[in-house]
Amino acid sequence: MEREKRSKFLAQQGYLLTLLVRRNIKNQYYRSFIGILWTVLNPLLNMAVMAFVFSSIFGAGITNGLDYPLYILSGNIIFNIMRTSTTGSLPCLVQQQDMLQKTKVPIGLFPTANVLSSMVTFGFSFIALLIVALFRLAVGKYVFSWHIVLLLALLPAVMLFSLGLSYFLSALYVFFRDIEHIYSVILTLWTYLTPLFYTIDVLGNPTVTRFMSFNPMFHYVTYFRDILTGIVPSAWEHLVCYAFGIVAFVIGYLFMCIVRNKIAAKL
């Protein structure tokens, strides 16, 4: 009886979550002419611009064997999971304040929905990546390898990391509204501190390289590029990816639990 009730509750929460995710994705490209197609086109166009701008500066040969357009695209779409999750989640509790003030609903669902929509967007971007890879294959610049399936091992870690950050930020934003501006600066800094369009070797600075290992996004991006190139990341690399993910998730979740009661009073 008790168990049946619990599973019914979980099913209900799952249903609500799918509704929220669907709404997020719909709103993202609401009223745009080609709609959902933008999710594929957007990373493609971005990549084209970046490849055009940066290929002459950072260009060939130093990308550990990965073709430069793919190098840019792979880094960006992994980074974008975290970026869109957190920027979407940051104001999400405040945006839902009308609802949260009149109904008792687990608040964690809203940031979770944002992270899940980012995962869906990633799926579309991944299609874009495959299209580019096919084109590069045709001109002999890229070879597919089976390692690409290891993506399934990477995504849960990125997701946990994004969830943790999203929980933390959405709850914090309720109390400090200026976090929005601070976070957008941090995010810009983070984008440049992660080798998305440059390679770490180009910097040629051992201090930077050592410092880089504290950047979780660096590990996720590198992992993704390794499997695209056809390298199996080491066990240590797996450990690091999951350690960052789990630690972020636990901290974010605990923070949200601790301030949960204050959030309703504050909204």
Partner 1 sequence: MKKDKIPADGCLLEVNNVTMKFTKYEVGVDSLKELVVRAFKGDLKREKFVCLKNISFKIYKGEAVALIGRNGVGKSTLLKIVSGILKPTSGYAQSYGRISPLLQLGAGFDGNATGMENIYLNAAIMGYTKKEIDAKLKEILDFAELGDFIYSPVKTYSSGMLARLGFSIAINMEAEIMLIDEILAVGDMAFQKKCYDKLTELKAKGLTFLIVSHSDSVRDLCERAIWIERGRMVADGPSGDIFKRYTDVMMNPEKQH
For residue 10, state whether it binds partner 1 (rule: CB under 8 A): no
Interaction residues for partner 1, span 163-192 (CB under 8 A): 175-179, 182
Question: 86: which residues sit within 8 A by CB, 6+ positions away?
Answer: 162, 165, 166, 169, 183, 187
For residue 265, state whether it binds partner 1 (rule: CB under 8 A): yes
Cα–Cα distance between 182 and 103 in angstroms, integer? 31
Question: 75: which residues sit within 8 A by CB, 6+ positions away?
Answer: 194, 195, 196, 197, 221, 224, 225
For residue 19, state whether it binds partner 1 (rule: CB under 8 A): yes
Instruction: Tell the smallest beta-carbon distance from residue 204 to partner 1 (Å).
Output: 37
**Count of beta carbons in the 10 Å neighbourhood of residue 10:** 10
Looking at residue 59, the DSSP 8-state letter turns out to be: -
SS3 168: helix
Interaction residues for partner 1, span 22-81 (CB under 8 A): 23, 26-27, 30
Distances (CA, A) of 37 to 41, 122, 134, 221: 6, 13, 19, 25
Please, is 189 exposed, middle or buried when counting C-beta atoms within 10 Å of its C-beta (0-12, 13-18, 19+)? Answer: exposed
8 Å CB contact between 70 and 132? yes
Residue with the two structure tokens 């550990």: 64
Output 2 or 207, the one with its CB closest to partner 1. 2
Instruction: Tell the smallest beta-carbon distance from residue 95 to partner 1 (Å).
Output: 10
Among 7, 56, 207, 261, binds partner 1 (CB under 8 A): 261
Interaction residues for partner 1, span 195-254 (CB under 8 A): none
For residue 258, state whether it binds partner 1 (rule: CB under 8 A): no
Q: Quick one: which segment of 21-29, 139-147, 150-158, 194-202 binds partner 1 (CB under 8 A)?
A: 21-29
Output 106 or 123, the one with its CB closest to partner 1. 106
Q: Quick one: which segment of 9-17, 136-144, 186-194, 220-228 binds partner 1 (CB under 8 A)?
A: 9-17
For residue 12, state whether it binds partner 1 (rule: CB under 8 A): yes
Cα–Cα distance between 80 and 203 in angstroms, integer? 23
Instruction: Tell the smallest beta-carbon distance from residue 205 to partner 1 (Å).
Output: 33
How far from each other are the two terminal CA atoms of the chain, in whole angstroms? 36
Instruction: Tell the smallest beta-carbon distance from residue 83 to partner 1 (Å).
Output: 22
Interaction residues for partner 1, span 111-170 (CB under 8 A): none
Instruction: Tell the smallest beta-carbon distance from residue 154 to partner 1 (Å).
Output: 31
Footprint of partner 1 (CB under 8 A): 8, 11-12, 15-16, 19-20, 23, 26-27, 30, 96, 98-105, 175-179, 182, 261-262, 264-266
